Amino acid sequence: GFGCRLARGARSRGVGASGAGKTWLLGVLAGPPEPTSGEVLLNGQSRYRNVGVLKQYVSYMPQQGAFDEHLTIAENLQFAAAIRAPHLSRRDRVRRLDAKLIELGLSERRDAVVGSPEKKTLSGGERKRLNIGLDMIGMSDVYLFDEPTSGLSSKDSEHVIEIIRSMSHNKIVIVTIHQPSSKIFQMFNKVILLDKGGRLVF
């Protein structure tokens, strides 16, 4: 089990070897699945006994891309905004979309079709940034990112983490990373190091 009590503005990162349980940990925090023991609390409320109420406050971005490869960057973000922020007016959604495209460094590429990994239209870094943008377009309080830098160059990895860090004001952001560089390591203010079997070692 795992009890999560993090202050607002926290940027935490789970690191560890493959099989250490980083992805499983994020899945448990996102819920379901429910842990066999222990509990996850958000503002003192059980994550599992209040799934319907708390779901709107938590965004989980898996390692694989959550975007539609047949749509453009802007269309993917428009679709995500309609689902994650349905209360916004069309005008406010357009404003939010434009702001996020600039924040993600994708404004000039907004009309590019995403394409498949085999038929690359976007670079690996652009695909990762779009994936993050799908999460950011909503109004969550807790953001969970699973391996957002996997397969990226050191420069792209730093850019992606910088974007994630910029959104952590008044939010809780939890990121899993397999082998962070020392520069990326220093971008976080809390670190959890997991060993095989999910054992907490640091």
Chain segment 32-54, per-residue pLDDT in tens: 677 778 888 888 888 777 767 77
pLDDT higher for 146 or 16? 146
Dist. CA 130–CA 100, nearest whole Å: 10
> Which ranges of 71-118 does DSSP label H, i.e. alpha helix?
73-84, 90-103
How far is Cα of residue 195 from the mean position of the Cα atoms in its chain? Answer: 22
Q: Grade residue 6 by pLDDT with cuts at 50, 70 and 90.
A: very low
Point out the least confidently predicted range of 65-69, 144-148, 151-155.
65-69
Please report, for residues 76, 97, 99, 114, 132, the alpha-carbon distance to residue 106 in angstroms, rounded to integers and kept in the order given.
12, 11, 10, 12, 12
> Which ranges of the chain does DSSP label H, i.e. alpha helix?
22-30, 51-54, 73-84, 90-103, 124-136, 154-166, 182-185
From 155, 150, 148, select the one nearest 129 (Cα to Cα): 148
Q: Grade residue 200 by pLDDT with cuts at 50, 70 and 90.
A: confident
Mean pLDDT of all residues belonging to the chain: 82
Q: Give the β-pairing of 58-61 and 199-200.
A: unpaired
Q: What percent of the chain has pLDDT over 70?
A: 90
Q: Grade residue 77 by pLDDT with cuts at 50, 70 and 90.
A: very high
**Three-state DSSP state, 87:** coil
Q: Are 197 and 18 in contact (CB under 8 A)?
A: no
Q: Grade residue 3 by pLDDT with cuts at 50, 70 and 90.
A: very low
**Three-state DSSP state, 118:** coil
What pLDDT, on the 0 to 100 scale, is given for residue 7?
A: 45
Point out the least confidently predicted range of 43-47, 66-70, 122-126, 145-149.
43-47
Q: Grade residue 11 by pLDDT with cuts at 50, 70 and 90.
A: low
Q: Are 56 and 75 in contact (CB under 8 A)?
A: no
Cut 0.75: pTM above it: yes
Point out the least confidently predicted range of 13-22, 54-63, 170-179.
13-22
Report whether pLDDT(98) > 90. yes
